[in-house]
Structure 1
């Protein structure tokens, strides 16, 4: 009966597993479709008159190439950290094992000294000297125990010595792997510096061609109309974002308690005039190149690409019409459709979009309208 019941339960669970697999496949198809829509939107924006400009097109290509190398370098850094942690763990284990082996050697030495003191024929002498059968049995038991202790100590020592030898081989392999990763990372780091220098040279060339500030802004400045149009079209792309994401506090309830995307001096405040002389819709924060940029709250990535005037931009949808925008990044670490948690690293800061100094451009929008982030950040 129990077997039949178990089989019934298994059969009852089969449709659930099949249904779950179908749901996962459907979710992947929807996500692929969404990514296709986002790509199409981006390509449409790049096909506008402004995006066809030689300066913007060249800058986009250079900054995307730089972003790819920067992402590779970050991946190598993470790999190095993981390998170093593994090597440190192996070395700690070796130190512990060497301590155990030292104790075992000392214990075995004490047993051998005892055996030498007793002599080879001591067991026979003790037996011949005893008249009591119980005493004889006890003496034999003592000697068997002593012999087993010797054998046990020796076996344990041999086993731990083998373990130490295996550990030494693991450390050797981990050290070689770490050295290879360091070499590869050094190559990528040199490539990154070359890409950064190339990008700086390109910006200087563009500045030389666009001799006055007005011409430069026209070619590389923020295209707020294009951004607003993009946000409007993104509104329906992630319609599955609920008003309150399951298990998360409503975004509206987090006002005044959100962490900053990074720690940096406010270069341009919300509402202040930016380099174009227009009222800024967000904050420009000073930051070193490559600083980690964090999501301010849980949400889903709705956009991750290059926009004229904003550089490498990532937009996170927090549900109920709330969006956070992170621009001027050197590289993006998340893709469209990825879920992110509050505080999770989603990009690294830079100067993309034609900026001359590294930093982060940050916006917060409510139902498409920009709002001062400082009222939301703690």
Structure 2
């Protein structure tokens, strides 16, 4: 009997323990489900936030593109204005030299006329009348009359020449005033464009700050750069198809491979990031980043044809030149592009102006060399 009671008590205790374990497991499962739901809610919130941030970034990128294209147009117009200003200055210099020549000639004419007047005065104002009254010296009368006629003709000729020089000098002076007014107007336009460019740059800098604020972490920036590089590779493949009809050696004496080690730099500046070195995001650079002052001329490294000239995400205002035999040179971060798609360029010819497009904070040039779509180290191709 006692054993039965003990066994019954043991079974009852075991059942109670089993019930406690089941309740504990149920509580833990419920807690885990609540935690899972919280995590899922956080994921949804984070996903929505990322989607919103991505939308803001894309909107800022579109605005940045428009802003930098506007800056490029202003910078290109400044180059044209400076060219016109130089031409007007040369015309003004030529007119000033002509004015100096006419002023000198006018001085000589005045001196000659003064000498004639002095000679005429020396003969006497009434000498001709006196000689006519002296009938006994016919030869003297003829001689003095001849002198008078000579001085009269010379005096009239000098007066005519002096009058012509004065009229020409007045015309030159008028042209100088017109050219000076044109030069002043051009100067004012250039200064207005410069102020406008400064305003555009300030707006772009503010926009850039907003854009950079959306890139919260290094990983996000790295992912964005990876996408940019992938998009660039896709662009290059498309360009290779579109411009497949370009002659392989572009009709020049020296094929591009033969220029290895002899190519000039696109601009002179300090090398900030070399090929394969880690850039600001920590990823290996596919090209060079060269320090440059704002608006520094960027030159083509070799003869070729422009196959791309537009804004490209991650590279800003980008220009690509096809040199034949599947060799391309890329010039990014520019302030202005001076060539259009289809233009042929010579080695050393300016093709762009350096800047800070593409989301950069420091003026520089991004330069790449590619062969069959793959980046190659510029170091072994460019001479220092």
Shift of the 119–217 alpha-carbon distance from structure 1 to 2, 3 Å rule, reads farther
Q: What is residue 97 of structure 2 aligned with on the other side?
A: 92
Q: What is residue 263 of structure 1 aligned with on the other side?
A: 268
How far apart are 1:305 and its partner, in Å? 0.4
* Counterparts of residues 193-204 of structure 1 (less than 5 Å): 193-204=198-209
Match of 2:173 among 159, 165, 168: 168
How far apart are 1:299 and its partner, in Å? 2.2
Q: Deviations over 1:23-64 (max 9, x none)?
A: xxxxxxxxxxxxxxxxxxxxxxxxxx9999334323222222
Asked if the contact 2:335–2:357 (Cα under 8 Å) also holds between the matched residues in 1, the reply is: yes
Instruction: Give the TM-score normalised by the residue count of structure 2.
Output: 0.75
Match of 1:237 among 235, 239, 242: 242
Q: Secondary structure at the match of 1:277?
A: coil
How far apart are 1:244 and its partner, in Å? 3.9
Structure 1 unmatched ranges of 5 or more: 1-48
Q: What is the aligned residue count?
A: 327
Taking the aligned partners of 1:128 and 1:219, their CA distance within structure 2 comes to 118
Q: What is residue 110 of structure 2 aligned with on the other side?
A: 105
Q: What is residue 58 of structure 1 aligned with on the other side?
A: 63
Asked if the contact 1:351–1:358 (Cα under 8 Å) also holds between the matched residues in 2, the reply is: yes
* Counterparts of residues 266-305 of structure 1 (less than 5 Å): 266-305=271-310
Taking the aligned partners of 1:144 and 1:241, their CA distance within structure 2 comes to 81
Q: Deviations over 1:148-204 (max 9, x none)?
A: 443333322222211111111111112222222222222222221111111111111
| Mean Cα deviation higher: 257-266 or 243-252 | 243-252
Taking the aligned partners of 1:130 and 1:332, their CA distance within structure 2 comes to 89
Structure 2 unmatched ranges of 5 or more: 1-53
| Mean Cα deviation higher: 324-333 or 240-249 | 240-249
Aligned-pair Cα RMSD in Å: 3.1
How far apart are 1:328 and its partner, in Å? 0.3
Shift of the 163–202 alpha-carbon distance from structure 1 to 2, 3 Å rule, reads same
Given the alignment of the two structures, is residue 117 of structure 1 paired with residue 122 of structure 2, yes or no?
yes
How far apart are 1:295 and its partner, in Å? 1.6
Match of 1:354 among 359, 364, 379: 359
Q: What is residue 14 of structure 2 aligned with on the other side?
A: none
How far apart are 1:327 and its partner, in Å? 0.3
How far apart are 1:261 and its partner, in Å? 1.2
Shift of the 339–144 alpha-carbon distance from structure 1 to 2, 3 Å rule, reads farther
* Counterparts of residues 30-41 of structure 1 (less than 5 Å): none
Taking the aligned partners of 1:334 and 1:128, their CA distance within structure 2 comes to 92
Taking the aligned partners of 1:56 and 1:217, their CA distance within structure 2 comes to 16
Q: What is residue 370 of structure 2 aligned with on the other side?
A: 365
Shift of the 344–51 alpha-carbon distance from structure 1 to 2, 3 Å rule, reads farther
How far apart are 1:266 and its partner, in Å? 0.2
The structure whose Rg is larger is 2
How far apart are 1:294 and its partner, in Å? 1.4
Match of 2:158 among 143, 153, 158: 153
Asked if the contact 1:222–1:310 (Cα under 8 Å) also holds between the matched residues in 2, the reply is: no
Q: What is residue 341 of structure 1 aligned with on the other side?
A: 346
